[in-house]
Amino acid sequence: MPTIVRSLFGHARPARPRRVASVLIVLSQAPFDGDATWNALRLAGTLVDRGEAVRLFVMNDAIEVVRQGSTPAGAEFDLQKMLKDLLAKGARLKICTTCVNRCGIGHGEVIPEAIMATMADLASWVVESDRALVF
């Protein structure tokens, strides 16, 4: 049976089914300098827990977050674990191939869940997403 909602004027109407939003989060800043990446991953986790479709694109200095074993000793948060937990919950991850190469990271050095991608892939995600945020 459909849910009935009353408007401000008391008129009954069927409730609209909730549409899942798609959110693209672009990580661009160095992950271990400040809290931007940590907050981006926290937001992504909240969105995933709410049932939203989350896409993460990692580029520029943020590429360090997908390098295996990159978490500095004594780091307050394990950003890579946060990222992997998001992926286990259904978030999608792509990383900039050019950025990986520019930073001298070998393809075998990135976490296995990372999908190598291009600017064309990022452009597609930007156009397909309801919202895009850059951290």
Closest by CA position to 37, among listed 24, 46, 50, 28:
28
Is the separation of the CB atoms in 55 and 44 below 8 Å? Answer: no
Tell me the CATH number of domain 20-134, given options 1.20.1330.10, 3.50.30.10, 3.40.1260.10, 3.40.630.10. Answer: 3.40.1260.10
Q: What residues does each domain of the chain span?
A: 20-134
| pTM for this entry | 0.84
Taking the C-alpha atoms of residue 69 and residue 47, their distance in angstroms, rounded to an integer, is: 26
Residue with tokens 């609209």: 16
Reading the chain (135 residues) residue by residue, the pLDDT tens digits are 555 555 556 666 666 667 789 999 999 999 999 999 999 999 999 999 999 999 999 999 999 999 988 888 888 899 999 999 999 999 999 999 999 999 888 767 999 999 999 999 999 999 999 999 999
CB atoms within 10 A of CB 45: 17
